[in-house]
């Protein structure tokens, strides 16, 4: 029996959202079994969620603490894009913090590198092509996103990929997903129902696990 440890992170309260999908989706996914994810019988998946503060300084240390505690093989960080109409798969993390509003620590970095002299950007390690195929099969509105902005989401994404790229102990599958606002019924102008977003999370974990078991460059979509 092969055990794969998955950590999925979300963020704490957004002041202008009554329902925060990056909080609700990870909590829901923590309850799913390998069978419910439609994975091979010889694979056991252990899913743990962690809620992070919207903080440049503290989000990554808290995520890293959970990663180490769970000896994670797969790490999926999530956030919310208020303007998104569907689930957005983030392709690239850039080495810049450039905030137009303060984080929860009242920190407003402007045009500052996340990691001094670090690479300008990192590409996601999630199998985007296969995830998008699953989304299409389940009629989940989705798109690729060129970057995760320059706020806390991108900072967390960059630090995650920087850590994964420099981890010499084992291969880590890692990436970032932006959820849209939650709406009662599907509305292509405003967002997705929560159950659709949870289903999207199931698809992401399933394909990440399959990719971890059998990596293929054809599963990564960069263009």
pLDDT for the residue numbered 40: 78
pLDDT for the residue numbered 149: 93
pLDDT tens column, 102-160: 999 999 999 999 999 999 999 999 999 999 999 999 999 999 999 899 999 999 999 99
| Annotation marks residue 153 as catalytic | yes
pTM score above 0.85: yes
Going by C-alpha positions, the residue among 86, 83, 79, 81 that lies closest to residue 188 is 86
Q: What are the residue ranges spanned by the domains of the chain?
A: 1-211
Determine the Cα angle at 98 with ends 95 and 100, to 5°.
Answer: 160
Mapped to the 3 state alphabet, what secondary structure does the chain carry?
CEEEEEEEEEECCCCCCCCCHHHHHHHHHCCCCCCCCCCCCCEEEEEEEEEECCCCCCHHHHHHHHHHHHCCCEEEEEEECCCCCCEEEECEEECCECCCCCCCCCCCCCCECCCCCCCCEEECCCCHHHHHHHHHHCCCCEEEECCCCCCHHHHHHHHHHHHHHCCCCCCCEEEEEEECCECCCCECCCEECHHHHHHHHHHHHHHHHHHHHCCCHHHCCCC
Catalytic position from the list 153, 177, 192, 200: 153
pLDDT for the residue numbered 215: 81
Class of domain 1-211: alpha beta
pLDDT for the residue numbered 116: 95
Section 170-196 average pLDDT: 88
Task: Using the predicted structure, report yes or no on whether residue 223 has a pLDDT greater than 60.
Answer: no
């Amino acid at each position: 029996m092969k055990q794969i440890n998955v950590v999925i992170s979300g963020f704490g309260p957004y002041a202008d959202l009554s329902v925060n999908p990056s909080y609700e989706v990870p909590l829901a996914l923590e309850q799913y079994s390998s069978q419910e994810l439609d994975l091979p019988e010889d694979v056991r998946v252990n899913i743990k969620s962690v809620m992070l503060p919207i903080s440049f300084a503290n989000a990554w240390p808290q995520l890293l603490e959970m990663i180490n505690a769970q000896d994670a093989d797969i790490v999926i960080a999530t956030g919310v894009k208020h303007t998104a109409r569907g689930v957005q798969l983030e392709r690239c993390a850039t080495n810049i913090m450039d905030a137009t509003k303060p984080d929860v620590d009242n920190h407003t970095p402007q045009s500052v590198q996340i990691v001094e002299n670090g690479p300008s950007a990192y590409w996601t390690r999630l199998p985007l092509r296969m995830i998008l195929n699953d989304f299409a099969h389940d009629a989940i509105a989705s798109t690729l996103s060129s970057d995760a902005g320059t706020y806390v989401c991108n900072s967390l994404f960059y630090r995650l990929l920087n850590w994964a790229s420099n981890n010499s102990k084992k291969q880590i599958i890692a990436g970032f997903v932006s959820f849209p606002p939650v709406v009662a019924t599907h509305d292509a102008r405003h967002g997705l129902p929560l159950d659709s977003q949870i289903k999207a999370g199931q698809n992401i974990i399933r394909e990440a696990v399959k990719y971890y078991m059998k990596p293929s460059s054809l599963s990564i979509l960069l263009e």
